[in-house]
Amino acid sequence: MLQSEPTQRLFFNKLREVCFTWYQNLPPLPAASTRFLLCSVHAIRNTRRKMEDKHVTLAEFNQLLGLQDGVERAYYAVFDGHGGMDAATYAATHLHVTLSQQETLHSNTAAAFKMAFSQTDDMFKHKAKRERLRSGSTGVAVLLQDQSLTVSWLGDSQAMLVRQGQAVSLMDPHKPEREDEKQRIEDLGGCITFMGCWRVNGTYAVSRAIGDFDQKPYVSGDADCATIQLSGNEDYVLLACDGFFDTVKPAEVPQLVLEALQDPGDPEGAEDEESEIAAGKSIAQKLVTHAKMAGSNDNITVVVVFLRPPKLLVAEDTHTVVKEAESGL
């Protein structure tokens, strides 16, 4: 157990040392990102007693974590806790740090992500044992690196991409009733039972998660990954917990986002950049509200990362509608 006073003293001594070093010789500022990134985030407790979701948005991943290899990176993640918020909080605090420390981050991002999830799960195991914690958390994380997008996930939180107004599937969420997950659990001697929803050994409604150590290895800590190359015509990537996707299908997302951008209540019609940013940042809130009105009772977290300016997406849709109308004449 760390003692607070010596720890604080050590921290402030180190902080003074760094500040004095920078005062004498300020390190060069990193080059500004050439990628358009506008992030819209909204999260609500909804009707649940506690808010157990956590999210992370790091547009300046390299600068914050001290990477200097010249590769542009941005990181976004959503964690959906259950049985308490400890596992979600731990994952949100440690996963990106652990990822940044992987030697294979540039050469094999998928392998780096898998190892980072595994190490984070192992680290949380020690904390959970020491503090007698029983919580768990699903998680989905995205790393934008150069001209590629890598998604890694445990459980049923999801990420999806929209390209030129069309939903692009990035992943298949881990659910107990998924055939390969069911077979994996049964091969280990476990079972899947239906108790209002499909559950692992009659307990958790997720088949993979950080934590849930009383049901390991049935509830696996092994993450899956997928990488796609970006061509520059991608609109945005969306990450959300199952509280959103339980009532909103991925195929519905592009139209919902477009309608939200076209909402006359937004300052979308204004020309200045601040108005456009304000319009884009309201999107996640509108998506969360839609999921709640559609019947979701769970915690809801939505993160939308625009890869192109929202105004451009609206303009392209308007152009398409006009062309279709003209061709019908």
Is there a domain that residue 157 lies in? yes
Kindly report the length of the chain: 329
CATH number, domain of 257, equals 3.60.40.10
Q: State residue 6's pLDDT score.
A: 77
The pLDDT value recorded for residue 281 is 73
Tokens of 187: 């091969």
* Domain, as residue range, for 99: 42-171+224-327
Look at residue 180 and tell me if it is in a domain. Answer: no
What is the C-alpha to C-alpha distance for residues 157 and 285, in angstroms, rounded to an integer? 18
Structure confidence at residue 267 (pLDDT) = 46
In a domain, 28, yes or no: no
CA angle 209, 211, 212 (to 5 degrees): 85
- Assigned domain for 11 exists: no
Residues 141-186 have pLDDT tens digits of 999 998 999 999 999 999 999 999 999 999 999 999 999 999 999 9
CB 187 within 8 A of CB 169: no
Q: Which of 259, 247, 13, 239 is nearest to 138 (CA)?
A: 239
The predicted pLDDT at position 322 comes to 44
Backbone phi, then psi, for 53, in 5-degree steps?
-85, 150
Is 278 a domain residue?
A: yes
Answer yes or no: is 37 within a domain: no
Does residue 259 belong to any structural domain of this protein? yes
Distance CA 113, CA 76 (A): 13
Q: Which two tokens stand for residue 180?
A: 């390969």
pLDDT computed for residue 11 by the predictor = 77
Rg (CA), the chain: 21
> Considering its fold, how many domains does the chain have in total?
1
**What CA–CA distance (Å, rounded) separates 188 from 160?**
31
pLDDT of residue 263: 80
Give residue 274's pLDDT: 62
3-class secondary-structure state, position 29: coil
Q: Which segments in the chain show pLDDT lower than 70?
A: 1-4, 27-34, 264-280, 318-329
Is residue 4 in some structural domain? Answer: no
